[in-house]
Amino acid sequence: MKLDSIDIKILEILQQDAELQVAEVAQRVGLSTTPCWRRIQRLKESGVITRQVALLDAQKVNVGVTVFVSVRTSTHSQQWFETFKATVQAIPEVVEFYRMSGDVDYLLRVVVPDIAAYDRVYKRLIAGTQLHDVSSSFAMEELKLTTALPLGYVS
């Protein structure tokens, strides 16, 4: 799908506040309401906008501790991967899960209330599959957190 400058403006606005009324978005991008609504629907139908969610304050829901977990494995079979993936996906405290290049095979971002809760997550993680090495790093301070993607690369 080809995005023009108005589509990009709409996306920038919605990434900041998806609860805005279509009329407000339309006013900000210089369109009337109906054409703006049509563009938003097209962005949804084409998969550019994948979903709209509520972002929560981690402290207020008692998961203010962020842990980055690096996993290395000596097994790389499809069966092992499917088991590991299922194990990780069943742990709600894991909010991000990536397969990596380089020295680390997988990287997880885990949110918990405290170290004891992380220890329970860790035990669930290692019980599910065989791992070569698991390294945990606790974030001391959140310096930047955004869900907004940069739109300067859209062509």
| CATH 1.10.540.10 holds for 58-138 | no
Buried b (16+ CB within 10 A) or exposed e, 80-100: ebeebeebbeebebbeebeee
Task: Round to whole Å and give the CA distance between 139 and 147.
Answer: 18
Q: Tell me the pLDDT tens digit for each residue of 113-142.
A: 999 999 999 999 999 788 999 999 999 999
Instruction: Please tell me the predicted confidence (pLDDT) of residue 23.
Output: 98
Structure tokens belonging to residue 16: 């900041």
Given a contact cutoff of 8 angstroms between Cβ atoms, the answer to whether 16 and 148 are in contact is yes
Task: State which fold the 5-46 domain adopts.
Answer: Arc Repressor Mutant, subunit A (1.10.10)
Task: Round to whole Å and give the CA distance between 67 and 112.
Answer: 8
Q: pTM for the whole thing?
A: 0.91
Q: Tell me the pLDDT tens digit for each residue of 14-58.
A: 999 999 999 999 999 999 999 999 999 999 999 999 999 999 999
CATH 1.10.10.10 segments of the chain = 5-46
From residue 13, alpha-carbon distances to 57, 77, 151 in Å are 21, 43, 11
Nearest to 145 by CA among 66, 47, 63: 66
Instruction: Please tell me the predicted confidence (pLDDT) of residue 155.
Output: 83
Q: Percent of the chain at pLDDT above 70?
A: 100
The amino acid at residue 155 is S
CATH 3.30.70.920 segments of the chain = 58-138
